[in-house]
């Protein structure tokens, strides 16, 4: 599905090349052919043109933490609806977690997902394999076979590998395949039946708390095991100031560790749980203002490398129940960008850092040749309008699920075009702009 295209008069913004200039991009056969001023189209060719004046053109965005629910829970999301949501959110590449039903713990399931992706998706989808069979934390999954089939990382995300011996072995084994091990850090015993952050607000609201230490203990353990094994660790959805301090210290010591933060852990505190809106129930839970400050600062200084949505669709039946009984998780693909951009606008984190954390860094973490507008690179491109203000309306979501706490939020920054291999796969341009 490679194509030709010229993007004109855009502000080209690519952190991987330290690029911020106004100019044109020429795409031929789905690859970046030229960047510069007033590019002329090769003679004898008619190439469609796209006027991007006033908009930002960046490498296509990458979300390394999504749940597509297929196979097994297609009433919540399918590969088709999840990737349509991703495209509408400006994402050209996503990685999908292994906690499908059945679990992606074999090359058979990996291949199944890839075949569905080939048939149903307009964007790139990279499966993540399970660390343990069935996510049960008992035996290693066939990581090598899944690697041959094309997984880009391993993770039991949604659960923590509580057996430290097995986690150590997973880290050891991952080195053979150069796969990052993505840790979901929640000590199952400390978490218990908790449903929100443990603190003053859990005491007020009468809900069982999940202490920050339940995350930090596992982050600390996995840092030590990574140091022991020399493997590569990626910490998913960092939510506490304590985790940030541990990761910062580990990086200083030269341990191979990367980390991500979600839009909701950057913007919401556990105060919002007081409405008992089950769309605020998420794992790890929403924390406190000092944690938001710490993860924001860590994003700014690069301690936290990447932004990731942790898109976790759940149906109305899973959410329209008592807070105790609701599933953990919220959809994120279609609200992620304006919330990230809000951090740039309101918290002073540089746009370069935000875009890098959505392009170059996630590409590095999962080892894919994306996240750049280098000459010759795949022409995966996202174009957004930095000025447009709008109100989030969950009824407009492409995702099958609408479990968001951000419905009705006024935000700024809207995706105009999502382009994969030079082909426009999503557009929302004002009338007459094309």
Q: Which residues pair with 20 in a beta bridge?
A: 13
310 is catalytic: yes
Residues in the chain: 434
CA distance 360 to 368: 10
Q: State how far the Cα of 245 lies from the Cα of 265, in Å rounded to an integer.
A: 16
Q: Residue 171 CB: number of other CB atoms within 10 A?
A: 24
* Of 139 and 320, CB closest to other proteins: 320
Nearer to other proteins, 324 or 396 (CB): 324
Structure-block tokens of residue 47: 């190439």
How far apart CA 380 and CA 7 sit, in angstroms, is: 13
Centre a 10 Å sphere on the Cβ of residue 33 and count the other Cβ atoms it contains.
20
**Cα–Cα distance for residue pair 35/58, rounded to 1 Å:** 12
Going by C-beta distance under 8 Å and a sequence separation of 6 or more, which residues neighbour residue 252? none
Residue 184: both structure tokens together = 């979901």
Residues that bind other proteins (CB under 8 A): 192, 198-200, 202-209, 211, 271-272, 274-276, 317, 320-325
Nearer to other proteins, 198 or 291 (CB): 198
Minimal distance in Å, beta carbon 240 to other proteins?
15
Neighbouring C-beta atoms of residue 41, cutoff 10 Å: 15
Q: What is the DSSP string of 93-130?
A: EEEE-S-SSS-S-SHHHHHHHHHHHHHH-SSEEEE-B-
Give the separation between CA 114 and CA 404, rounded to whole angstroms. 28
Q: How far is the CB of 402 from other proteins (least distance, A)?
A: 16
Cβ count near 391 (within 10 Å)? 9
User: Backbone phi, then psi, for 245, in 5-degree steps?
Assistant: -65, -40
| Closer by beta carbon to other proteins, 49 or else 200 | 200
Q: Active site residue: 105, 305, 310, 378, which one? A: 310
Shorter beta-carbon distance to other proteins: residue 66 or 202: 202
Residues annotated as catalytic are 310
């Amino acid at each position: 599905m490679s194509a030709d295209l010229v993007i004109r008069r855009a502000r080209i913004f690519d952190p991987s090349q330290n690029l911020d200039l106004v100019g044109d991009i020429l795409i031929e056969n789905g690859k970046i052919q030229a960047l510069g001023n007033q590019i002329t189209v090769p003679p004898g060719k008619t190439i469609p043109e796209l006027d991007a004046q006033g908009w930002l053109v960046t490498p296509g965005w990458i979300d390394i933490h999504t749940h597509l629910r297929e196979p097994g829970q297609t009433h919540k999301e399918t590969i088709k609806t999840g990737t349509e949501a991703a495209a509408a959110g400006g994402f050209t590449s996503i990685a999908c977690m292994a906690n499908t039903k059945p679990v992606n713990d074999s090359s058979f399931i990996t291949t199944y997902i890839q075949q569905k992706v080939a048939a149903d998706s307009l964007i790139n989808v990279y499966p993540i394999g399970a660390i343990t069979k069935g996510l049960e934390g008992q035996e290693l999954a066939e990581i090598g076979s899944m690697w041959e089939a094309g997984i880009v990382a391993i993770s039991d995300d949604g659960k923590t590998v509580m057996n430290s011996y097995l986690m150590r072995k997973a880290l050891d084994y991952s080195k053979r395949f150069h796969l990052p091990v993505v840790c979901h850090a929640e000590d199952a015993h400390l978490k218990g039946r908790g449903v929100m952050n443990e603190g003053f607000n859990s005491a007020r609201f009468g809900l069982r708390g999940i202490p920050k230490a339940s995350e930090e203990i596992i982050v600390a353990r996995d840092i030590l095991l990574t140091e022991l094994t020399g493997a590569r660790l990626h910490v998913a959805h960092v939510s506490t100031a304590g985790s940030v301090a541990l990761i910062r210290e580990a990086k200083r010591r030269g341990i191979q560790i990367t980390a991500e933060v979600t839009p909701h852990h950057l913007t919401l505190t556990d105060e919002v749980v007081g409405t008992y809106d089950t769309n605020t129930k998420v794992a790890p839970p929403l924390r406190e203002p000092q944690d938001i400050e710490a993860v924001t600062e860590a994003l700014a200084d690069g301690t936290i490398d990447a932004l990731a949505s942790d898109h976790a669709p759940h149906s109305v039946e899973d959410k329209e129940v008592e807070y105790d009984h609701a599933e953990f998780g919220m959809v994120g693909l279609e609200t992620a960008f304006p919330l990230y951009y809000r951090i740039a606008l309101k918290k002073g984190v540089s746009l370069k850092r935000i875009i890098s954390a959505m392009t170059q860094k996630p590409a590095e973490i999962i080892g894919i040749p994306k996240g750049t507008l280098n000459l010759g690179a795949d022409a995966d491109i996202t174009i957004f309008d930095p000025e447009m203000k709008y109100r989030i309306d969950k009824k407009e979501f492409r995702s099958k699920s609408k479990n968001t706490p951000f419905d009705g939020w006024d935000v700024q920054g809207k995706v105009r075009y999502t382009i994969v291999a030079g082909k426009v796969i999503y557009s929302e341009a004002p009338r007459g702009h094309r």
